[in-house]
Amino acid sequence: MRPDDANIAGNVHGGTILKMIEEAGAIISTRHCNSQSGEHCVAALARVERTDFLSPMCIGEVAHVSAEITYTSKHSVEVQVNVLSENILTGAKRVTNRATLWYVPLSLKNVDKVLEVPPIQYAWKELEEEGKKRYEEQKLERLVTKQRNGDLIFPVFNPDRQNKEPYTVGYSQSSLIHLVGPSDCTLHGFVHGGVTMKLMDEVAGIVAARHCKTNIVTASVDAINFHEKLQKGCVITISGRMTFTSNKSMEIEVFVDADPFVDEPKERYRAVSAFFTYVSLSKEGKPLPVPQLVVETEDEKRRFEDGKGRYLQTKAKRQVQMQPLTQQ
């Protein structure tokens, strides 16, 4: 990890870690999907499950990214990725991230054609049953997310921002416009999922920093859903807005909308959506209280309550996971 991987707090940028995670997942799933004779394909990212940033990674440390396929359905692959950081002076290692990603194999001859996935062998029948349960759950959650995708985030320009009250949704709301170039894409002209996630993390970080006016770091990423492919030559707008604050964290909703201009121009469409959670830090890296979000409209109140529900649900899951540790 080098200085150009750092955020303003001096740790490795969360988007850089997300990009590494996606690259590892893409490699192993593409290898697996081409392991049998037949039509060649490339694995495209469809969804990233909740990803927690367990520990910050520092500049000068070595990142170890390992990936394993844990479930296959007829048309999708589940990949588990672990990230370790190593201090090369002392040899000490620690886990910084764990993530679950879902990929689908797309034909190289026709990228709109989804191919079948070679099945994997499970050590125990229970592993297959647990994987199938996870598959059905993420499939249902993707449908719920699509229903919410009619929402729009309209850009707020600086003259308008000056008229907004601090700590309101409109005050911190931010957008980034990016022209998709060859360096953003695979050999087949579609944007790497990791590139998209890094841009989303940057926008979410800007929203969090505008709200707190302090150093901020990514604490977790809720499920990222990739609804449509992004092609080389299109203009993408990454927009973020604050939806919920607790005493110590902020939830930011991020959308990626695409305007295709090259080849076949068509209407703007929603390509990706996700929720990011950030925490506020002092200059010494200690957690700070988060200023409470001021909600003004009925839609903002609804989104706040929805975010509170997700926050409480995550908190309850974490407490359940901690119970076996405290009982040991």
Give the residue numbers annotated as catalytic, written as ranges: 7, 201
| DSSP category for residue 293 | P
> How distant, in Å, are the alpha carbons of 35, 155, 195, 228, 236 from that of 179?
35, 17, 12, 17, 6
Write out the DSSP string of 72-137.
E-SS-EEEEEEEEEE-TTT--EEEEEEEEEEEEEEESS-TTPBPPPPPPPPSSHHHHHHHHHHHHH
CA–chain centroid gap for 130, Å, is 23
Report the distance separating Cα 39 and Cα 126, nearest Å.
Answer: 31
How many CA atoms, within 13 angstroms, populate the side-chain half-sphere of residue 243? 24
Report the distance separating Cα 151 and Cα 22, nearest Å.
Answer: 26
250-259/269-281 β-pairing = antiparallel
